[in-house]
Amino acid sequence: MHLEGSLSPEVLFTLAKRNNITLPQDDDAFQSPETLLARYDRFTSLDDFLHYYYIGMSVLISASDFEDLAMDYFRHAAADGVAHAEVFFDPQAHIERGISYNTVLAGFSAARARAQKEFGITSELICCFLRHLPVPNCVSMFKDADVQASFKNGSVTGIGLDSSEKPFPPALFEEIYAGAKELGIRRTAHAGEEGPSSFISDALDVLKVERIDHGIRLIEDEALLQKIAKDGTMLSVCPLSNVLLRCVKEVKEVPIRKFLDAGVKFSINSDDPAYFGGYLLDNYCAVHEAFNLSVAEWTSICRAGIEGSWCSQARKDEMLARLDDVVRVWAPKLSA
């Protein structure tokens, strides 16, 4: 999920007041948190969502703002029973506003430490590059000394590629991903959400990513689907996001059943929960209502998410043991 995508209208208006930020006066959506939330139900496309997404970021100024934003997400995550989260952030969107990379990183890092102490939630931070910006801009940020330092000291675990997908194929960012691979940085990319299935294969073959974000258009290429299943490449699927961004009309059109039948590994995720009307548990419930999955199927989804995460093996083992305990206790009751 995207940390900036957890900026709820309530928090947005609070931070705007704190930082004396004037929200757009020519858009009725910004009359109140309630009217803004109502507008989020009417996104027409990914770009329509991104318009509001980037306006929202304007209220984030200080490290404490970023900490408050992330803590609001972690509280929701704790309420949903999340044990581990791998979260994106978009530093270019803040650097362009004059906010330093280290300011953003300090706020998010403080929240991550608090979340682990207060809720027992571990997390990894993934630095995303905005594909709608000029490629040299992205390359420059990747090579920035502060960004490189965050890779080397472990503050940031991996890189990702987000924003408008269709006009910006993965191959444009080959230099960044080659550099990340050389540094031993983990690599993922948004592909096959709006863009074609060929973007998935390019992300794998050109960028050498280790997992795919979204990837729902994988079903358009049977050979690629079988290859991903064979290789065990994980997809991070975001069902409610797919509906709100008009990629599908309803959750039952997300290819959950096809992925399960083909043996494709995937996890269920919330993407930008404050904008798409659902945190993680909401997505789990929506999938279950649409597909009525069995205990074994849910176990396989949860196991794939744990095994496909980028935390330590010791942490994976803890979560796998916790999963086994839950299944052992609840499976007999559900089948009774």
CATH number at residue 289: 3.20.20.140
Ranges under pLDDT 50 in the chain: none
**Rounded to whole angstroms, what are the CA distances from 279 to 2, 182, 213?**
11, 35, 17
297 is an active site residue? no
Give the count of domains, the chain: 1
Give pLDDT tens digits for 295-305.
Answer: 999 999 999 99
The angle subtended at Cα 274 by Cα 94 and Cα 36, nearest 5°, is 90
CA distance 65 to 68: 5
Would you say 13 and 33 are in contact if contact means Cβ atoms under 8 Å apart? yes
Give pLDDT tens digits for 126-170.
Answer: 999 999 999 999 999 999 999 999 999 999 999 999 998 989 999
Specify the pLDDT at position 39: 95
What pTM, to 2 d.p., does this model score?
0.94
- State the CB neighbour count (10 A cutoff) for residue 320: 15
Of the candidates 193, 222, 289, 297, the residue annotated as catalytic is 193
Q: Quick check: helix, strand or coil at residue 133?
A: coil
Domain membership of residue 169 as a residue range: 3-335
